[in-house]
Structure 1
Amino acid sequence: MAPPIHSTTNPWDQDFQPYTTIIDVRSPAEFAEDHIPGAVNFPVLSNEERALVGTIYTQRSPFEARKIGAALVSKNIGRHLETHFLEKPKEFHPLIYCWRGGQRSHSFATVLSQIGWQTTLLSGGYKTYRQYVRQALAQFGATLSLRVLCGYTGSAKTKLLQALQAEQFQVLDLEALAAHRGSLLGQMWQTTPQQQPAQKWFESQLVAQLKTFDPGRPIWVESESKTIGKIHVPKPLWENMGRSPVVEVVLPMAERVKLLIAEYPHLIEHPATLKQLLSHLVPKYGKRKIQAWYALIDAQQWPEFVEAILEEHYDPTYRRSLPRHFRQPQQTIHLDGLDPADIQRFIQTLNPEQ
């Protein structure tokens, strides 16, 4: 006798512990936009098949669509069984979900249950999970104890946060989750830029990260903009950042220039692309200033160019934006450089309550 198919509405409360696998049976396009972290995609309809069934449903007949859909679903489930499930042990216990917890997930769960595996369905499917993400962002984003690290562009904030993390400080790296460096220079930080995630997938990864933090300890985060590339920082988290204590790090200009040239070698390797990016600043600064920057690029005077764009673009922008979005720094730490001794002094200089 086949075991019964169970259902759940909040598997994340137990961190999915009872389940050996989380199976997302939606189409690859739905899965790519967002999914439960750790889930694997075994689509019962491909992108094209899902579109076909939907078209038949609306333009011809729901009954015809169900017949064709059932044939396609059966074929795809059979292929998944042959290629991925024949070696699964009897104790295999998957959690299965689709868009609404409807026919697609029930079809897959029924077949696995008939084989003899214990299966559990996520009631409401992905929509239930998405509601949980929104609620978690509102809760965690608003209540976690944050500490904001700010500083001029080139102040090694990311490197310092990584050093804090290595010392067991809790660190939230929003730029890494968003796959984007938040400045003009950062737009081309790879020869082939890394594609940013969909907003929903960013939020899923963010919730998964926030759940790992100890709410009784502070969490360090960089003073990001409200948007990181095309990604929007969720409002509860952004507002929490705006009212949280701020620590500012200050590096000498020469050190900032050296750091940026080392971190962004494309400045030298792709000058034409750099000049194209700078052209977007013509309305703000006028052609004469942009041409002056172009001249430094053409002459390969890279330290002079980086210093000029810091002093004339980045630094004034920082001075205007910081008081609009964040509290005044309660502590300012001046570093001579970024040697291990400097970084260790930065960590030791932080106020004990931080």
Structure 2
Amino acid sequence: MEIITVEEAINLKKALFIDVRSPSEYQESTIPGAKNLPLFSDEERKKIGTLYHIDKYQAYEKGLKIGSSKLYLIFKTLTSFLDSVNKNTKVIIFCWRGGMRSKSITLNLQMMGIPAFQLKGGYKAYRRFVLDQLETFKNFFHFYTIHGNTGVGKTKILKYLKEKGEPVLDLEGLANNRGSIFGDIGLGMQRNQKMFDSLLYDELRKNNKDYFFVESESRRIGKILLPKFLVSAMENGTHILIRSNIKKRIEHLKQEYLPIENKNKIINLIYHNSFFEGKKGKQWVNNLITLLLEDKYDKFIETLLIDYYDPLYSHSEKKYEPYDFILYNNDIDYCVKELISMIDN
């Protein structure tokens, strides 16, 4: 049976990673781009695991019975995947530790003529590899760190830069969280630390330039903790301050957070967050909720910005004065053009 190490697999030009762990294991974290073809469902895995602590032989027998009934479907599904990729693509099969789940499927695929490899050490080895490799990027890139008050359009600027082919490290995108009280509005579930680290490693290793554009962040984004080397590199980079007028900031935030569609969730977050009341008082919170209930979205956002967010971030903004560059985002195309020109010059 063909076995491949994590480093060898990651460096393949054409690879299709197949995660044969249960759906919940896959959902928690996996190798970026991997497809899930589970040998056992969550319930089946749980039953086999319980049985294993009582009678190992019976557990193996039950696993064989369940798994063997799914091998044909896994084979057919995998061949449909292969129809849409390069013919030289190598198939990498992995489970948690490179055990029986990935071994049985790899052997069967090889017998069917598919060039499949079992990942040595499984996902556990991949996770250890990612953590080790992240540290190798210390002092590797120069960061153009973009600062600015809430709503100046930092996320949109990064998106435009990426569309222009510039290397952008979208940390909030990788975390699937904006790092604020309203950080998950319209985004769904935040990624966990394992998945964030994997996606971060992927972004770093794929960049063939020596710099990144990145939005200024604290070390924590929601539940995610940024690596210390990354925070340090961002702090030691080139600092760019983006400014914009209050009207444009309100428009940016309406587009990003969709207060009409997410009104009830926003009200619930405000009502149950003691931080607002502790900082601004109960009356201020009640007035804020009233603005939303009365559909006065512009005034709601303006109140949040002027009374809460701008004073809150004024200290961190002063930390990097004097800024290397200050740009006014009244025209995003012009702003992006200036940033690219700054790199070229």
TM range (shorter): 0.7 to 0.9
Residue range with higher mean Cα deviation, 199-208 or 253-262: 253-262
Verify the 8 A CA contact 1:94 1:119 in the aligned structure 2: yes
| Identical counterparts, % of pairs | 32
Alignment correspondent of 2:13 = 17
Aligned pairs for 1:94-243 within 5 A: 94-140=91-137, 143-188=140-185, 190=186, 193-216=187-210, 218-243=211-236
1:245 aligns with 2:238: yes
Q: 1:145 to 1:83 in 2, by over 3 A?
A: closer
Q: 1:144 to 1:73 in 2, by over 3 A?
A: same
1:275 aligns with 2:295: no
Deviations 1:240-278 (A, max 9, x none): 223322111112233323332344331x45545433333
Verify the 8 A CA contact 1:335 1:346 in the aligned structure 2: no
Unmatched tracts of structure 2, length 5 or more: none
Question: TM-score, normalising length from structure 1?
Answer: 0.84
Alignment correspondent of 2:323 = 330
The amino acid of 2:132's aligned partner reads Q
Larger radius of gyration: 1
Aligned pairs for 1:252-331 within 5 A: 252-266=245-259, 268-279=260-271, 280=273, 281-298=276-293, 300-322=295-317, 327-331=320-324
Give the SS at the match of 1:246. Answer: strand
Verify the 8 A CA contact 1:43 1:76 in the aligned structure 2: no
Residue range with higher mean Cα deviation, 109-118 or 60-69: 109-118
Residue range with higher mean Cα deviation, 334-343 or 24-33: 334-343
Deviations 1:165-187 (A, max 9, x none): 23332111112222223333444
Question: TM-score, normalising length from structure 2?
Answer: 0.86
1:66 aligns with 2:60: yes
Q: 1:231 to 1:329 in 2, by over 3 A?
A: farther
Verify the 8 A CA contact 2:98 2:120 in the aligned structure 1: yes
- Cα shift at 1:232: 2.6
- Cα shift at 1:156: 0.9
Unmatched tracts of structure 1, length 5 or more: none
Deviations 1:132-155 (A, max 9, x none): 111222222553221210001111
1:38 aligns with 2:30: no
Alignment correspondent of 2:71 = 77
Aligned pairs for 1:335-354 within 5 A: 335=328, 337-338=330-331, 340-341=333-334, 343-345=336-338, 347-348=340-341, 350=342
- Coordinate RMSD, CA, aligned: 2.9
Q: 1:12 to 1:67 in 2, by over 3 A?
A: closer
Give the SS at the match of 1:135. Answer: helix
The amino acid of 1:51's aligned partner reads K
- Cα shift at 1:295: 4.6
Question: In the aligned structure 1, how far is the partner of 2:266 from the partner of 2:51?
Answer: 49
Q: 1:213 to 1:97 in 2, by over 3 A?
A: same
Verify the 8 A CA contact 1:178 1:202 in the aligned structure 2: yes
Q: 1:75 to 1:296 in 2, by over 3 A?
A: closer
Aligned length: 339
Question: In the aligned structure 2, how far is the partner of 1:82 from the partner of 1:167?
Answer: 39
Give the SS at the match of 2:70. Answer: helix
Residue range with higher mean Cα deviation, 251-260 or 90-99: 90-99
Indicate which of 5, 8, 15 corresponds to 2:5: 8
Question: In the aligned structure 1, how far is the partner of 2:169 from the partner of 2:217?
Answer: 11
